Amino acid sequence: MTSRSLKIALLSTTLLGLAAAPLAAETLTLQWQTANLTEKQFEPVWHAIIEEFEAAHPDIKIEPILVARADHWTRFVTAAQAQQAPCIVSVDVTTAAYNGYLIPLDEYWNAEPEGFRQAWSESILSAARWDGELWGVPSWGGVYAEVYNRDLVEAAGLDPENPPATWADYMTWAEALSGDEQWATAILGGRTDTTTRTLLTWIYSNGGEPFNEDMTEARFAADPRSLEAIKTYLGMEAEGLAAPGATTINYLEQTNLFAQNRIATMRNAYWSIAKVLGDNPDLEGKLFVADPPMNVEEKATVATMTADSISSSCAHPDEAWEFIKFNNERKWAVQRATVANWMPLRNDVSDEPEIADNPMLRKFVEIGGYARTYPLPHPHWADISTNDIVDAVQEALLEPERVEEIFRALDVKLNEKLNDV
């Protein structure tokens, strides 16, 4: 055999071998964007989630997209409009679905075993549904309860074992807890939708309904119980029971005041505990949580809902669904609760030892059993909750004599938006 023939034979053998060898699996990358990836307490959890998922799915790589909370929605919308949004996102479900930024998940959801689907209550799932379709899997949330400083409560001669059950009880406590540059609480009136969340807890606790059932009519002033709740809550600053400067108080300012022993009670979610103890470790073991004071027998508060969705830009929705399922396993629901202080939205984790053996966390889970989900299901909700309602709250705080007039004007304004779909 000539040298040339030998080279040809060797080349042919090599090519045949390559053809017979299995091709290496191609690795695809899924981007994951949620504002909470930038929050310190969640960092160890999401690192573990990605590491374990990639180990179980070596052909899939998860790329976390770290975006500051203030830029999260804007960045998502810009990318979605260019059809370049990350595959897996946690955004305002209804607004994103209405604008075509997400894909419905019913086909994936209905294909899962009944045991998986029953891990979420229909009440929780309803917050991820819009126009008859499911647009996200509820992953975690925050239940709004009343958190107290035990030392300040006892110093005021009050009994931590018998916290206020009604508004009248709470106002009695508020008077005892206020004075000498200390206040009972802080009104959230700053420019974030936390202002709206907290306002709704007061309205619900008085049996008020700020909207009709199908979200076509606003009733902040039209419903007497809603208006009474607004006047009572916002009026606490003028009465010296709430810290001054409410129009600039957001979550950060509220938790700072609480950590500094300037306010004795705050209406907040479980995640605020980690923030307060990080600011003031001396408060460890000195906090307790209770139901928000109610004026009605049927209890109600607010529970935020964060869902995992698949963007309409996603080229690999099947793989994205696999990650969403993995991300919402019981194990990670417990980890979010115990490490990041985020409430699980699955209804089958309350008996997990890490939760059952933690009295404060267990109480938040109990309160979550009667919470109403947030955000409310309307395409314009992001704008309504962050701008319109906050504008009215700030105006009413500055001109308390015009509260009813201000919220009647809000009803008119919102009625136009609610029906503009």
Domains, in order of start, for the chain: 28-139+306-356 (3.40.190.10), 145-302+377-418 (3.40.190.10)
Average of pLDDT values for 296-309?
A: 94
Angle between helices 403-418 and 389-398 (to 10 degrees): 170
pLDDT, tens digit (0-9, with 9 covering 90-100), for 335-344: 999 998 888 8
- Asked whether residue 200 carries a pLDDT value surpassing 90, the answer given is yes
Query: Confidence band (pLDDT; 50, 70, 90) for 377?
Result: confident
Query: Confidence band (pLDDT; 50, 70, 90) for 25?
Result: low
**Would you state the pLDDT for residue 45?**
95
Average of pLDDT values for 4-24?
A: 42
- How far is the CA of 302 from the CAs of 19, 141, 196, 267, 378, in angstroms? 61, 10, 10, 10, 17
Question: Rounded mean pLDDT of the chain?
Answer: 92
- Asked whether residue 274 carries a pLDDT value surpassing 90, the answer given is no
**Would you state the pLDDT for residue 341?**
86
- Asked whether residue 146 carries a pLDDT value surpassing 50, the answer given is yes
Half-sphere exposure of 59 (CA within 13 A, CB side): 8
Q: Supply φ then ψ for residue 32, to 5 degrees.
A: -130, 115
Q: Supply φ then ψ for residue 80, to 5 degrees.
A: -65, -40
In this structure, what DSSP letter does residue 218 have?
B
- How far is the CA of 156 from the CAs of 164, 254, 269, 338, 356, in angstroms? 14, 21, 24, 32, 31
- Asked whether residue 259 carries a pLDDT value surpassing 60, the answer given is yes
Average of pLDDT values for 371-395?
A: 93
**Would you state the pLDDT for residue 54?**
98
pLDDT, tens digit (0-9, with 9 covering 90-100), for 70-87: 788 889 999 999 999 999
**Would you state the pLDDT for residue 44?**
94
- Asked whether residue 24 carries a pLDDT value surpassing 80, the answer given is no
Which string of DSSP letters, residue by residue, matches 69-127?
HHHHHHHHHHHHHTT---SEE---HHHHHHTT-B---HHHHHHS-HHHHTTS-HHHHHT
Cα–Cα nearest to 200, from 186, 190, 211:
211
- Asked whether residue 9 carries a pLDDT value surpassing 70, the answer given is no
Instruction: Please tell me which residue, 77 or 347, carries the higher pLDDT value.
Output: 77
Cβ pair 361, 270 in contact under 8 A? yes
Cα–Cα nearest to 397, from 183, 235, 198:
235
Element (H, E) at 55: helix 43-56
Instruction: Please tell me which residue, 126 or 5, carries the higher pLDDT value.
Output: 126
Average of pLDDT values for 20-39?
A: 78
Query: Confidence band (pLDDT; 50, 70, 90) for 268?
Result: very high
